[in-house]
Structure formats: C-alpha cells, structure tokens
Amino acid sequence: MRKIPFLVLFIFACMMMAPMGANAQKVVPFPTNAGAPTLKPIFPAGAKRGSSITLNLTGTNLAGPIKFLSSFPCKATIPTENNNGKDAAKLAVKIDIDPTAPVGFHTIRIGTAKGISNTRILCIDDLPEVLKVDTNKNKMTPQVVVLPCVVSGKIDAESNDYYKISVKAGQEVSFEVLGRRLGGTIDPQINLIDTKTMRELPKSHSNDSPGAQTDPRLRYVFQKEGDYLVEVRDVSYRGGEDFYYRLRMGDFPLATSPIPMAMKRGTKGNVNFA
C-alpha cells in the first residue's frame, strides 16, 4: 500500500478547515476605542515605598479620569485644582504608597469613561530617591550623592552623567542601572573612575548584564578609601526624552538566575540564587 506523504496530508487538512466561497465568514477585526486614554513613559519612573508623591502623567485622552489602577497597594487621589483632570494631554495623580508595597517593577493605568490606558512601569524601591541635576555632565562638576540611593535621570545625546560617591577601604557596593527594563530606549553602561587619577578602575566596567536585557549591573569592592565617580552613558552616545534611567547604588544583592530555574506547580522546594 502506497503511503501518502505527510506534507500532502497537512496541506489537504488546511484546505478543508479554511472557509470557502460564498459561505466563508468574514473576519471582523476586534473593535478599538479611539477615545481610550494613552500614557507616555513616566519620569521619574519610581518612588520609595511608604512615600507620598505626585505623578505628572502625560499622554492623550486623559481628560475625565475616573480610576487610577496600580499593581501595588496605594491610595490615589486626583486633585481638582488648576483644572486638573480636564486636560487631555496631562494629568496629576497624588499617590500614598503603602509601606509594605513589594519592591520591584510595577504597572499603572488610567481609566476614563472611554476606556483604560496602556500600562506604564513604575518602580517601588526601598532606597532614598534622588533626581539628577543638569550640571553633572563633566568629570569636574559631578553630582554628589550619598550611599545608598537611587538616582532618576535622562541622558542627552553625546553626553555622560557623573555622580561622586565616598567609600571606605574594603567597602562593597552594588551598582545597577534600570533602563531598557523600564521600557526606555537607552542602552546604558557603567564605569567607575578614580577622582585622583581620573582613570577607570580595573574591572569596573559593566554593560549588558545577564538576565537584565541590556542593563548593566556591577558589584565592586573598593580597595582604598576616597571619592570615586560613577559614569553613566548610552553605549552609542545617543540621548533624548526616551533615554531615562534609574541608577541604584548601595549594599543590595544582585541575583543573576534562580537554581533550579523551574518547579512543578503544587510542589515545595528550595530555590537558590546565583
């Protein structure tokens, strides 16, 4: 008996399942609401848990908000002063973040009578928040910060940002830039520089850390007490409004991957991190 090739059978089955002729049903596209709100990226894209902040959101169709949605516990209030809530392009929302809110990446959305917006990332952190100043683009005029902290900034084209930190001999510090993981365009990298020699410290360069998309992470032990510069830039010296980042510095773990990397649901077991 002659066997029919598998490819022939597959093509025949596809033809039989496809609608044919006048009896074919037209595919109706899923309806979209052109009046639904949309959100642009948030800056700064994070806040400390237990804090009260005002989110200055921008986007389209933001007028008439009726609901603030978040993946973290908080109390949200939409102020009515200065005609807030009537401008389609911007909206201020005051949020009181719960002190027990989990640290990590979270999402927010805005709801109006015409629909729900896209999601945007907002980080909840346990480190003190600092905003970048525009005078830190030169090694001679770095922005002085105190460890631990997280700095929110944006990179300009053909520009570097410099932050000066003070450490003790033997002090271990973790450095991490959240950029691409925030949904931004930046491809960031970190360099550590000795303020006395203005040279890069050995093995202090980080870019494209495993498990962090294109974001860098670095754990460094400083051999000598003193002041050092933390340099942040885009690897291709690009910049602009979408090149925002969060530079985290302090004594915190940097986990690359869990071991084991999978478990059967309904079971219990120990998970280690490398």
Q: Which band of pLDDT confidence, cut at 50, 70 and 90, is reported for residue 259?
A: confident
Q: Is 179 helix (H, G, I), strand (E, B) or coil?
A: coil
For the cut 60, the answer to whether the pLDDT of residue 248 exceeds it is: yes
The DSSP H or E segment spanning 15 is: helix 6-17
* pLDDT tens readout for residues 102-138: 999 999 999 999 999 999 999 999 999 999 999 999 9
Q: Is 62 helix (H, G, I), strand (E, B) or coil?
A: coil
For β-strands 120-125 and 46-48, DSSP reports them as parallel
- The CA distance from 150 to 48, in Å, is 9
On whether the CB atoms of residues 56 and 122 are closer than 8 A, the answer is: no
* pLDDT tens readout for residues 181-191: 999 999 999 99
Residue count of the chain: 274
Please report the pLDDT score of residue 84 as a whole number. 97
pTM (two decimals): 0.83
Q: Which band of pLDDT confidence, cut at 50, 70 and 90, is reported for residue 32?
A: low
- Give the tokens for residue 197: 């020699």
Domains of the chain by range and CATH? 38-125 (2.60.40.10), 129-250 (2.60.120.380)
